[in-house]
Every structure is written in C-alpha cells, then in structure tokens.
Structure 1
Amino acid sequence: MKKTRQQDRNIPGPQTPWSEIAPGLWMGGHYWTDASGALQPAVVGSEFDVVISLFTADGHGPDYDTEHVIGEIPDAPLTAAQIRTVQRLARTVKHAMDGGLTTLVRCHSGYNRSGLVVAQTLIDAGHDPDEAIDLIRRRRSPWALNNDLFAAYLGTGLDIAALLTDLDAPA
C-alpha cells in the first residue's frame, strides 16, 4: 500500500476511537491513544450503518454487513482527482445522513482526511467553512484539521481548489 499519512507532527493522538460531530455523523480513525498514552486499534464492528475509509488497515472492520466505501487519499497536497473524491465521499455521507443512517468517516487518527470529508459534508448541509472546522475541532479534538492546506481547500471551496490544482498539474 502506498504511504498516505504525513509524518508525525508532534501532536497528541485522539483520546477516543471516534466522536459524534453532528447527529448521525461520526469522525474517527483506525488508531487512538488511551489514558496511559498507548496506541490502541479502533476496530469497527456494526456500530454504524455506513463507514467511509480514507485509510485502510487489515482487521479494522467494519463487519461484512456494514456498507463500506473506501477512497484512500493522502494527508498531503491533493490532486484535482483526489479533491473530487473528497467531494464525492462528502455527497455520499450527506445522502446517508439524509436517509437517517449513522455514518463514520475515518482515516488514520481521525484528524485530517476524515476532517476534510466531514467538513465538506457540513458545508454541503449549509455551514460555512469556518463554522464546520470549528465544530469539528470542538467535537473531535482541537488538533483536528491541523493540515493547513486542507483548511485552505475548504475556505477556498473544493471546486475552486480542484481547478487551481489542475493549473499546477504537468501537461
């Protein structure tokens, strides 16, 4: 598997496997840090109706009867195609929520990639970007969306970010 996570930014790991950001919308990771500081696996069973994974690891679920959508993206600058993947996944999450399904969006630690998709889902639901980012940081962790580029994508708007990214792509 290709590397999809940036190097450790010397930030504390999440204290829970996942956190509810809005009713039915959860954000988390494949790993979390317990009270002793030990890294623990976050294994999903059948707690959620839909699981969106932006990072995958064997043995982390979900159960076979849970809808599982995988869209691996790096915790790094994104290509236009990867930004479009984020938009597609955010629409999938919003559709699930509108249908009353509980949805978990997860990445490695549940900070950046999952934060990008969750924030875009909230924006699609009517929040402005700053409100969406603030809500995620209050509900998940102050360290959520610490990737400044992802916050900039949200502030600019993903459509414009994708167009601008395409301008920098080699011909």
Structure 2
Amino acid sequence: MEKSRQQDRDIPGPQSPWSEIAPGLWMGGHYWTDASGALQQAVVGSEFDVVISLFTVDGHGPSYETEHVIGEIPDAPLTPAQIRTVQRLARTVKHAMDGGLTTLVRCHSGYNRSGLVVAQTLIDAGHAPGEAIELIRRRRSPWALNNDLFEAYLTTGLDIAALLSELEPPA
C-alpha cells in the first residue's frame, strides 16, 4: 500500500480518541496521545451506529453490529475520483445523521482526512466552509485540518476542486 499519511509535520497528537463535532457526528482516529504523552490505540466497539474509515488498521474495530464504510484516501493531493469519494462519504454521513444515527468519521489521528469529510458534511448541512472548519478546530483540535490543500478544497468547493485536479499542467 502506498503512503497515506504525511509524516513531515511536528504536530501534537489528539488528546482523545474521538470528539463530537455536532450532535451525533464524531471525528477521530486510530491513534491518540494520553496525558503522559504516550501514543494509544483508539479501538471502536459498538459506541457508534456508523463508522466511516478513511484509513484502516486491523483490530481497531468497529464491532460486527456496527455499519462500517471504508473509503481510504491519502493525506495528500487527491485525484478527482478520491474527491468524489469524499463527497459520497459526506452524503453517507449526512444521511446517517438525518436518520438519527451516531456516526464516527476516522482516519489516522482524526485531523485531516476525517476533517475533510466532516467539514463537507457540515457544508452539505448548510454551514459556510470557514464556519465548518472553525467548528472542527474548536471541537477536535486547533491542529485539525492542518493540510492546507484540504482546506483549499473545502473553500473552493469539492466540485470545482475535482475539475481543477483533472487539469494537466502545461508542458
């Protein structure tokens, strides 16, 4: 499998496995950092009705009775198909929320990939892009959505970002 997470940043890990961003909408990762600074695994059992995984690790759940949707994407520039995956997953999350289901969107640490899907879900629900990004940073971590490209995708709009990413640079 190709590298899916940027390792070149000195960013502190999240202080909890997951955080509630909006009622019934949770954002998290597979790893978090406890108060002593030790890396901990975030293993999902049956705490949520739906889990959306943008990164996976064997043994990190969820339990068999939980709906689990996997749509792996990198924490890097996305192809048009990957941007469409983000849009599809955001619609899935919004549909689950509209049905009253508790939903966790997770990636490695619960900062960028999960932030992209959660922010798009909030935008689909009527939030302005900047408002969605600020809410995520306030509720999850100031380090959430630290991938500048993902923030640009959201502020530009994913439809336009997908079209622009299809363009080839001039030779």
**So what's the TM-score if we normalise by structure 2?**
0.98
Equivalents in 2 of 1:74, 1:5: separation in Å?
6
Counterpart amino acid of residue 137 in structure 2: R
Corresponding residue for residue 52 of structure 1? 52
Aligned residue for 1:144, secondary structure, equals: coil
**Residues 1:8 and 1:35: Cα distance change in structure 2 (over 3 Å):** farther
Corresponding residue for residue 125 of structure 2? 125
1:26-77 CA distances to partner (integer Å, 9 max, x unpaired)?
A: 0000000000100000000000000000000010000011000000000000
Equivalents in 1 of 2:97, 2:50: separation in Å?
10
CA shift, 1:133, in A, is 0.1
Greater mean alpha carbon deviation, residues 160-169 or residues 80-89: 160-169
Counterpart amino acid of residue 155 in structure 1: T
Identity %, equivalent residues: 89
CA shift, 1:3, in A, is 1.7
Corresponding residue for residue 155 of structure 1? 155
Counterpart amino acid of residue 27 in structure 2: M
Unpaired segments ≥5 residues, structure 2: none
Aligned residue for 2:48, secondary structure, equals: coil
1:92-143 CA distances to partner (integer Å, 9 max, x unpaired)?
A: 0000000000000000000000000000000000000000000000000000
CA shift, 1:169, in A, is 7.9
Corresponding residue for residue 92 of structure 1? 92
CA shift, 1:85, in A, is 0.2
Unpaired segments ≥5 residues, structure 1: none
Count of aligned residue pairs for this structure pair: 170
